[in-house]
């Protein structure tokens, strides 16, 4: 299936630096740096572009000679890389030359195998099926799911909207939907950023800069710690940010909300909160303060496993740090999407920061803005009419509506009302909820289309698989970024197309639109769109192409009263929107304790299955990369972590094979026996357990997290509750 035009061998001999790292994954840093240095100044063309190995999309300078990629460097000007790329950023560039890449459009046969099909045929057949669905079931029966990349944000949304549907969903229901929804409900924006560089005390709750990487965040944290910032980690597992921390609180997973409520209790009871801020900029304080009286540190101790004394001391330290103390914003680990109380945990994070009065203060919680393109010429870029309300909003009214909950696709397909779905840059059926639930739902649909670079598990469930060229072979629309300094980053083409039958996503969407009868909305090239968007914000396309990143607007100014985009235009300890929303199933206007959905019963040998990132992998997609998987193999990184005391009880020694099972799935994996884990949990790296045979590197290595997680949705909000799963463990062999 994968015609290999440039063999892996030729590529490796042709380029020593990034390729050497990519080939073995094990070159020494010094030999790699010296071969990299050798590449400087010897006639290489450099192209400023962006990485696609994770959501961060760091700025990259690609070194190219004779049409071959030589090496990558982090772009100094990009706020996320600041000159440094992580291992994934280097290793993932191998995708361009990977033997496992998709090279031509494919159509699924009755028996589940795939045959090549021409683009024209694929477009014609998809177009006919879309038109049939539109005629019979209407535009609401169509949806699109993606993990947004710059082109996706524009083209995926425009494509589904052009078909008359508003059913645009991102991956967020298994990333940070509860967090962004909870934040919107307290301070009116989807996120904030902790000003770590100037903080005295930072509390990380289920967020690890040392594992869930963004290079500049690690650098900022390291520098802050050197300058005296105290770091406390709240995590069932001592994660790899431990080197920066002076305290680790091995909390029982799913109980962070109790910890936060108890911290708030102490801050209020001991009058350690910012009274002026609370009086002037918040609503609902008195009501919440009354509720907080029951959440004593002693109450929280029984739930969290953290002593009342430790909780009280941490609260007092935060109170003493005042606006230079901060609970970091988190991302996925503890309250992004994991539990049946994640939405309230996110609200409680915001509320504790409000008690500290740290909003927009140096060392506190900053609400920064993101620049965006202004309205464009209507004739060239006609606005797409607004369709009916997005599916899922009625059922999950507290969700961040921009990105929606993709789990509604599973529900509505299962019910028979959703008939067609497109996936772009997304392994939804492996990664966004229980894979069997996705498989059963997709089997009921009339049309499934996947646009990818490799034969993902999701591609395996689709009728048509359309191959995009890799990120190094394409240009995309500008990526506008917020932060202390707003900016725009550009993805530009570093390599000529390697496989002639692959296409860029803008071309695929424009041609698909034409086949579906809505081509009129796509009569412009990607470059024309980029030029127009940039012009609207006063940035030159040529300057962006040269530098990769251009700043926009003024830097963030401290001490400005935030623009609270809530109904009351204040910070809301009691939510007005929740009070006004009818028919809620779980959450209330007050930030209250909510039990997680399940709790392990040690008497029955149960553990809670939790997971997290490893610094060398992204989600499921990089386990296809040879260089990165060779590191996994060398260090047996796929192992499941078990607490040493628990392992002794079960007769398990480090490196033993263990069976991890529940009612949904049973898998065998080696054990990593450690003191660094709360005894109620089993922790697994979430990248493994690949089940697509075409992805030869990752196939069958480790166990797949989502297979263990029952398909269920956080009430009112729509997240996947990915840590609400129990397992038992037994030794299989030494």
Ligand X SMILES: Nc1nc2c(c(=O)[nH]1)N[C@H]1C(S)=C(S)[C@@H](COP(=O)(O)OP(=O)(O)OC[C@H]3O[C@@H](n4cnc5c(=O)[nH]c(N)nc54)[C@H](O)[C@@H]3O)O[C@H]1N2
Candidates 186, 191, 426, 630: give the one binding ligand X (CB under 6 A).
Answer: 426
Q: Which of residues 204-223 bind ligand SF4 (CB under 6 A)?
A: 213-215
Give the C-alpha separation, 45 to 22, whole Å.
21
Nearer to ligand X, 570 or 608 (CB): 608
- What mask of x and - would describe binding to ligand X in positions 540 to 579, judged by CB under 6 A? ----------------------------------------
**Residue span binding ligand X (CB under 6 A) among the ranges 41-49, 354-362, 392-400, 453-461:** 453-461
By a kind-dependent CB cut-off of 5 to 8 A, residue 57 interacts, out of Mo ion, ligand X, ligand SF4, none, with ligand SF4
Answer for the pair 484, 368: CB distance below 8 angstroms, yes or no.
yes
Residues 6+ apart with CB under 8 A from 648: none
By a kind-dependent CB cut-off of 5 to 8 A, residue 200 interacts, out of Mo ion, ligand SF4, ligand X, none, with none
Burial 461-488 (b: 16+ CB within 10 A, else e): bbbbbbbbbbbbbbbbbbbbbbbeebbb
By a kind-dependent CB cut-off of 5 to 8 A, residue 631 interacts, out of ligand X, Mo ion, ligand SF4, none, with none
481 makes contact with ligand SF4 (CB under 6 A):
no
Closest distance between ligand X and the C-beta of residue 576, in Å? 29
Give the C-alpha separation, 220 to 203, whole Å.
15
Give the C-alpha separation, 69 to 237, whole Å.
39
**Residue span binding Mo ion (CB under 5 A) among the ranges 173-181, 249-257, 269-277, 582-590:** 173-181
Answer for the pair 104, 83: CB distance below 8 angstroms, yes or no.
no
Closest CA relative to residue 386, chosen from 163, 237, 560, 126: 163
Answer for the pair 340, 714: CB distance below 8 angstroms, yes or no.
yes
Give the C-alpha separation, 730 to 244, whole Å.
34
516 makes contact with Mo ion (CB under 5 A):
no
706 makes contact with ligand X (CB under 6 A):
yes
Nearer to ligand X, 297 or 704 (CB): 704
Answer for the pair 567, 401: CB distance below 8 angstroms, yes or no.
no
**Secondary structure (3-state) at 699:** strand
Closest-CB residue for Mo ion? 175
212 makes contact with ligand X (CB under 6 A):
yes
Q: Which of residues 615-674 bind ligand SF4 (CB under 6 A)?
A: 618
By a kind-dependent CB cut-off of 5 to 8 A, residue 328 interacts, out of Mo ion, ligand SF4, ligand X, none, with none
Distances (CA, A) of 551 to 48, 49, 192, 484: 15, 16, 20, 11
Closest distance between ligand SF4 and the C-beta of residue 369, in Å? 22
Give the C-alpha separation, 513 to 508, whole Å.
8
433 makes contact with ligand SF4 (CB under 6 A):
no
For ligand SF4 (CB under 6 A), the number of binding residues is 16
What H or E segment, with its residue span, contains residue 216?
Answer: helix 215-226
**Residue span binding ligand X (CB under 6 A) among the ranges 64-72, 229-237, 482-490, 599-607:** 229-237
| DSSP letter (8 states) at residue 256 | H
Answer for the pair 587, 343: CB distance below 8 angstroms, yes or no.
yes
Give the C-alpha separation, 256 to 610, whole Å.
14
193 makes contact with ligand X (CB under 6 A):
no
Closest distance between ligand SF4 and the C-beta of residue 72, in Å? 9
By a kind-dependent CB cut-off of 5 to 8 A, residue 694 interacts, out of ligand X, Mo ion, ligand SF4, none, with none
Q: Which of residues 96-135 bind ligand SF4 (CB under 6 A)?
A: none
Distances (CA, A) of 410 to 407, 414, 440, 493, 717: 5, 6, 9, 36, 16
Candidates 615, 661, 666, 696: give the one binding ligand X (CB under 6 A).
Answer: 615
By a kind-dependent CB cut-off of 5 to 8 A, residue 51 interacts, out of Mo ion, ligand X, ligand SF4, none, with ligand SF4
Closest distance between ligand X and the C-beta of residue 475, in Å? 12
Give the C-alpha separation, 194 to 182, whole Å.
17
- What mask of x and - would describe binding to ligand X in positions 396 to 425, judged by CB under 6 A? ----------------------------xx
Nearer to ligand X, 210 or 284 (CB): 210
Candidates 97, 396, 471, 571: give the one binding ligand X (CB under 6 A).
Answer: 471
Answer for the pair 391, 355: CB distance below 8 angstroms, yes or no.
no
Helix 150-162 with 505-515: angle, nearest 10 deg: 0
Closest distance between ligand SF4 and the C-beta of residue 560, in Å? 30
Candidates 47, 175, 409, 451: give the one binding Mo ion (CB under 5 A).
Answer: 175
**Residue span binding ligand SF4 (CB under 6 A) among the ranges 8-16, 47-55, 241-249, 501-509:** 47-55
Residues 100, 103, 105, 107: is their CA dihedral positive or negative? negative
Q: Which of residues 618-647 bind ligand X (CB under 6 A)?
A: 618-621
104 makes contact with ligand X (CB under 6 A):
no
Closest distance between ligand SF4 and the C-beta of residue 74, in Å? 7
Give the C-alpha separation, 572 to 282, whole Å.
6
Give me the numbers of helices (H) and strands (E) for the chain, helices first please: 23, 27
For ligand X (CB under 6 A), the number of binding residues is 59
Answer for the pair 119, 511: CB distance below 8 angstroms, yes or no.
yes
Nearer to ligand X, 284 or 690 (CB): 690
Closest-CB residue for ligand SF4? 89
Closest CA relative to residue 344, chosen from 333, 355, 334: 334
- The phi and psi torsions of 468 (rounded to 5 degrees) equal -90, 150
Say if residue 170 is exposed, middle or buried (CB neighbours under 10 Å; 0-12, 13-18, 19+).
buried
| DSSP letter (8 states) at residue 468 | B
Closest distance between ligand X and the C-beta of residue 255, in Å? 7
Closest CA relative to residue 674, chosen from 715, 644, 633, 630: 644
- What mask of x and - would describe binding to ligand X in positions 322 to 361, judged by CB under 6 A? ---------xxxx---------------------------
Cα angle value 390/393/399 (rounded, 5°) = 120
591 makes contact with Mo ion (CB under 5 A):
no
Answer for the pair 59, 53: CB distance below 8 angstroms, yes or no.
no
| DSSP letter (8 states) at residue 136 | H
Nearer to ligand SF4, 57 or 592 (CB): 57
Q: Which of residues 49-68 bind ligand SF4 (CB under 6 A)?
A: 51, 53-54, 56-58
Give the C-alpha separation, 408 to 406, whole Å.
5
Specify the length of the chain in residues: 734
Strand-pair category, 479-481 with 487-489: antiparallel
- What mask of x and - would describe binding to ligand SF4 in positions 61 to 100, judged by CB under 6 A? -------------------xx---xx-xx-----------
Strand-pair category, 657-661 with 666-674: antiparallel
By a kind-dependent CB cut-off of 5 to 8 A, residue 58 interacts, out of ligand SF4, Mo ion, ligand X, none, with ligand SF4
By a kind-dependent CB cut-off of 5 to 8 A, residue 201 interacts, out of ligand X, Mo ion, ligand SF4, none, with none
Give the C-alpha separation, 434 to 156, whole Å.
24
Nearer to ligand X, 166 or 403 (CB): 403
**Residue span binding ligand X (CB under 6 A) among the ranges 74-82, 467-475, 530-538, 574-582:** 467-475
User: For binding to ligand X (CB under 6 A), which residues are involved?
Assistant: 52, 54-55, 147, 171, 174-176, 205-208, 211-213, 234-237, 239, 251, 253-254, 256, 331-334, 424-427, 430-432, 451-454, 456, 468, 470-471, 610, 612-615, 617-621, 683, 686-687, 705-706, 723
User: For binding to ligand SF4 (CB under 6 A), which residues are involved?
Assistant: 51, 53-54, 56-58, 80-81, 85-86, 88-89, 213-215, 618
User: For binding to Mo ion (CB under 5 A), which residues are involved?
Assistant: 175
């Amino acid at each position: 299936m994968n015609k290999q035009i440039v063999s892996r061998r030729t590529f490796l001999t042709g380029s020593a630096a990034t390729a050497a790292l990519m080939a073995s994954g094990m070159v020494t840093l010094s030999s790699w740096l010296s071969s990299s240095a050798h590449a400087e100044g010897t006639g290489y063309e450099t192209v400023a572009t962006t990485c696609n190995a994770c959501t961060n999309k760091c700025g990259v300078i690609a070194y190219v000679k004779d049409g071959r990629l030589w090496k990558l460097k982090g772009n100094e000007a990009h706020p996320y890389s600041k000159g440094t790329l992580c291992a994934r950023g280097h290793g993932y560039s191998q995708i361009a030359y990977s033997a496992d890449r998709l090279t031509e459009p494919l159509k699924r046969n009755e028996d589940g195998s795939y045959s090549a099909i021409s683009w024209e045929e694929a477009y014609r057949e998809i177009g006919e099926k879309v038109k049939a669905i539109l005629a019979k079931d209407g535009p609401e029966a169509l949806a699109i799911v993606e993990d947004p990349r710059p082109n996706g944000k524009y083209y995926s949304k425009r494509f589904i909207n052009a078909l008359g549907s508003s059913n645009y969903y991102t991956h967020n229901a298994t990333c940070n939907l509860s967090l962004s929804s909870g934040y919107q409900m307290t301070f009116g924006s989807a996120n904030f950023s902790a000003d770590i560089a100037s903080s005295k005390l930072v509390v990380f709750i289920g967020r690890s800069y040392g594992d869930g990487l963004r290079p500049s965040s690690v650098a900022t944290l390291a520098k802050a710690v050197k300058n005296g910032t105290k770091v406390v980690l709240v995590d069932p597992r001592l994660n790899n940010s431990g080197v920066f921390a002076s305290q680790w609180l091995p909390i029982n997973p799913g109980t962070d909300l109790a910890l936060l409520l108890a911290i708030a209790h102490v801050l209020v009871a001991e009058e350690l909160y910012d009274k002026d801020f609370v009086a002037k900029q918040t609503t609902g304080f008195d009501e919440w303060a009354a509720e907080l009286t029951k959440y004593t540190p002693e109450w929280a101790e029984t739930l969290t496993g953290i002593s009342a004394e430790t909780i009280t001391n941490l609260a007092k330290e935060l109170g003493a740090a005042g606006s230079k103390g901060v609970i970091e914003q988190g991302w996925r680990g503890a309250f992004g999407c994991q539990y049946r109380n994640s939405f309230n945990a996110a609200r409680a994070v915001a509320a504790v920061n409000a008690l500290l009065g740290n909003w927009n203060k140096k060392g506190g919680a900053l609400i920064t803005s993101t620049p965006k393109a202004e309205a464009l010429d209507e004739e060239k870029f006609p606005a797409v009419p607004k369709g009916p309300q997005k599916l899922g909003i009625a059922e999950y009214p507290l969700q961040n509506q921009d990105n929606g909950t993709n789990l509604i696709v599973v529900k509505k397909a299962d019910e028979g009302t959703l008939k067609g779905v497109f996936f772009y840059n997304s392994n939804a059926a492996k990664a966004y909820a229980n894979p069997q639930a996705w498989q059963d739902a997709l089997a009921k649909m009339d049309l499934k289309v996947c646009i990818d670079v490799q034969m993902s598990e999701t591609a395996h469930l689709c009728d048509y698989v359309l191959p995009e060229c890799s990120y190094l072979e394409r240009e995309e629309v500008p990526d506008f970024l917020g932060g202390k300094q707003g900016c725009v980053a550009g993805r530009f083409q570093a390599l000529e197309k390697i496989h002639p039958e692959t296409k860029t996503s803008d071309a695929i969407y424009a041609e698909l639109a034409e086949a579906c009868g809505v081509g009129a909305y796509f009569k412009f090239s990607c470059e024309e769109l980029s030029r127009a968007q940039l012009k609207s914000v006063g940035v030159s396309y040529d300057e962006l192409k040269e530098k990769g990143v251009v700043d926009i607007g003024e830097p963030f100014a401290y001490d400005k009263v935030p623009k609270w985009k809530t109904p009351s235009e204040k910070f809301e300890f009691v939510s007005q929107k929740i009070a006004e929303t009818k028919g809620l199933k779980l959450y209330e206007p007050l930030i209250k304790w909510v039990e997680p959905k399940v709790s392990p019963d040690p008497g029955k040998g149960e553990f809670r299955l939790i997971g997290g990132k490893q610094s060398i992998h992204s989600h499921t997609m990089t386990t296809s990369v040879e260089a990165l998987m060779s590191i996994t193999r060398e260090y047996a990184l796929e192992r499941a972590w078990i607490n040493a005391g628990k392992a002794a009880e079960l007769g398990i020694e480090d490196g033993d094979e263990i069976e991890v099972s529940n009612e949904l799935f049973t898998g065998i994996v080696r054990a990593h026996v450690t003191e660094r884990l709360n005894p109620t949990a089993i922790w697994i790296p979430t990248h493994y357990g690949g089940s697509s045979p075409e992805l030869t590197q990752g196939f069958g290595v480790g166990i797949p997290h989502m297979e263990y997680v029952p398909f269920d949705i956080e009430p009112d909000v729509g997240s996947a509750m990915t840590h609400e799963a129990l397992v038992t463990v037994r030794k299989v062999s030494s």
